[in-house]
Amino acid sequence: MAWRKAVAGPAAGAVAELLAWERECAERAAGGDARWGERLVSACSWLDMLRGAGYDPEVAELLAVFAADERAWYGAAGSPGGVA
């Protein structure tokens, strides 16, 4: 229930960014690439931090910046560091 409130709340875009990054990392890690497994740990920890902060919108926005930065860096060429 708390996730539903967070997704529909004032930080909906930030929460969506975090969830999208977690999903992308999980899918790529499931393909057997350990580097994406490491990214998945980060993505999951950010979601845990958000949960621990009571889904505070300001915390969501901050963590979404981290997720966006990682997505830009690691997702550039489909592999960590943008190196295919």
Q: Which pTM does this prediction carry?
A: 0.76
pLDDT, position 58 = 92
The answer to whether the beta carbons of residues 33 and 26 sit under 8 Å apart is: no
Q: What pLDDT score does 25 carry?
A: 92
pLDDT tens across 34-67, in order? Answer: 889 989 999 999 999 999 999 899 999 999 999 9
SS (H, E, C) 18-31: HHHHHHHHHHHHHC
Residue-range domain boundaries for the chain: 2-82
CB atoms closer than 10 angstroms to residue 78:
12
Cα separation values, 54 from 16, 49, 60, 62, Å: 16, 9, 10, 14
